[in-house]
């Protein structure tokens, strides 16, 4: 099967209004939202950018997307989940505040912003998928309950997955912190004893009493730990973190299996946009202005997230005249996420690129 990927060239020197016009042309020519019906609630899944980051997709472009959804008499809302690492996007209150600071206000984009809280079990769902690496995916139920899904991703490099695009936005981005930890690591979090001040907040927060204090330093009992990641958010001293390297060999397969948990609920009810603008070495969780690694390429759109990511990857490598993400992250072959996703039936590795 060959899927259609639509593309419009965009350059950094284009004014925002010109990019908005091009995006509108892309949406019109591709008829990307043909599947959206009146009164559908449409989850527009994106990343609002960590504090200090400048790579995220701008709110002005989300306004164009939301306006187009509303033309169908549907009801869009912007959404993302809380991060696994400790930062400005770790809890729903701070996350929403930063999204607003970055310009994603209802007044500016014409849609509500919803940051579901994975500490509230009513907002969490386990989806039984019985795949090779993941049995039960832990996701925020809002993405299952919405009638349609539009994934909007900044296409860029990633320290753990080589690159991140549509598949990562949905797979990692719809998971609870427990689900993110399951994807990132095969073991419990680790405690950096040199940072631990012995405050005991993690002991209080752990739901299964897996943390104890010894000599005013905390310790995790790996046998008791259920990998919920609550302690990472509870520690204000950056003393608890994911063992980032312990599960890196299969993180991409796990991530794609999580994407399947969401996308199986959105058959013929989802579409994806990748912004190949300000393509950086690392993701938008980085709290800094990460420099470009290749010239701007443009915006890609498809109802097939695998073809979409493949088309972006090919375009980036063509612009760089080498496999640039592999060069920057030699241990991570991003092709793994594409082949696993194609094997799971999430899309095709073959595509036709249609320039509009």
Binding site for ligand SF4 (CB under 6 A): 188-189, 191, 196-202, 205-206, 208, 210-211, 218, 220, 225-231, 234-235, 237, 239-240
CB of residue 168 to ligand SF4, shortest distance in Å: 22
Nearest residue (CB) to ligand SF4, 191 versus 312: 191
Nearest residue (CB) to ligand SF4, 111 versus 196: 196
Q: Find tokens 């449409």 and name the residue.
A: 42
Polymer length of the chain: 356
CA distances from 184 to 57, 153, 336 (A): 24, 20, 15
Distance CA 42, CA 30 (A): 18
Q: Is the dihedral of CA 96, 185, 120, 225 positive or negative?
A: negative
Distance CA 48, CA 54 (A): 10
CB of residue 177 to ligand SF4, shortest distance in Å: 9
CB of residue 163 to ligand SF4, shortest distance in Å: 28
Nearest residue (CB) to ligand SF4, 27 versus 232: 232
Phi, psi (rounded to 5 degrees) for 152: -120, 115
CB of residue 184 to ligand SF4, shortest distance in Å: 12
Cβ atoms 89, 95 nearer than 8 A: yes
CB of residue 226 to ligand SF4, shortest distance in Å: 5
CB of residue 231 to ligand SF4, shortest distance in Å: 3
Phi, psi (rounded to 5 degrees) for 223: -70, -30
E strands, 148-258, in order: 148-154, 156-158, 162-164, 190-191, 211-214, 217-220, 240-241
Nearest residue (CB) to ligand SF4, 5 versus 84: 84
Nearest residue (CB) to ligand SF4, 181 versus 338: 181
Nearest residue (CB) to ligand SF4, 189 versus 305: 189
């Amino acid at each position: 099967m060959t899927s259609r990927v639509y593309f419009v060239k965009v350059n950094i020197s284009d004014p925002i209004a010109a990019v908005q016009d091009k995006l509108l042309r892309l949406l019109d020519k591709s008829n990307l939202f043909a599947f959206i019906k009146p009164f559908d609630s449409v989850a527009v899944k994106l990343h609002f950018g960590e504090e200090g980051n400048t790579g995220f997709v701008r709110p002005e472009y989300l306004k164009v997307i939301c306006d187009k959804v509303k033309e169908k008499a549907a009801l869009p809302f912007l959404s993302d989940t809380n991060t696994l690492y400790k930062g400005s996007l770790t809890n729903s209150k701070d996350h929403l505040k930063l999204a607003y600071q970055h310009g994603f206000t209802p007044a500016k984009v014409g849609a509500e912003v919803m940051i579901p809280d994975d500490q509230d079990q009513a907002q969490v769902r386990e989806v039984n998928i019985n795949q090779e690496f993941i049995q039960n995916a832990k996701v925020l139920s809002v993405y299952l309950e919405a009638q349609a899904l539009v994934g909007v991703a900044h296409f860029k490099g990633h320290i753990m997955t080589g690159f991140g695009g549509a598949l990562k936005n949905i797979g990692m981005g719809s998971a609870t912190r427990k689900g993110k930890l399951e994807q990132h690591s095969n073991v419990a979090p680790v405690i950096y004893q040199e940072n631990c001040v012995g405050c005991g907040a993690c002991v209080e927060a752990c739901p299964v009493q897996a943390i104890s204090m010894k000599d005013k330093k905390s310790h995790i009992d790996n046998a008791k730990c259920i990998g919920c990641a609550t302690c990472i958010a509870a520690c204000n001293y950056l003393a608890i973190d994911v063992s980032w390297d312990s599960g890196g060999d299969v993180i991409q397969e796990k991530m794609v299996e999580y994407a399947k948990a969401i996308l199986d609920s959105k058959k013929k009810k989802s579409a994806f946009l990748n912004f190949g603008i300000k393509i950086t070495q690392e993701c938008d969780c980085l709290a800094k202005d990460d420099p470009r690694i290749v010239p701007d390429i443009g915006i890609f759109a498809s109802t097939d997230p695998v073809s979409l990511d493949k088309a972006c990857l090919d375009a980036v490598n063509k612009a760089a005249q080498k496999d640039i993400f592999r060069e920057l992250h030699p241990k991570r072959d991003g092709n793994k996420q594409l082949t696993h996703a194609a094997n799971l039936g999430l899309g095709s590795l073959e595509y036709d690129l249609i320039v509009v």
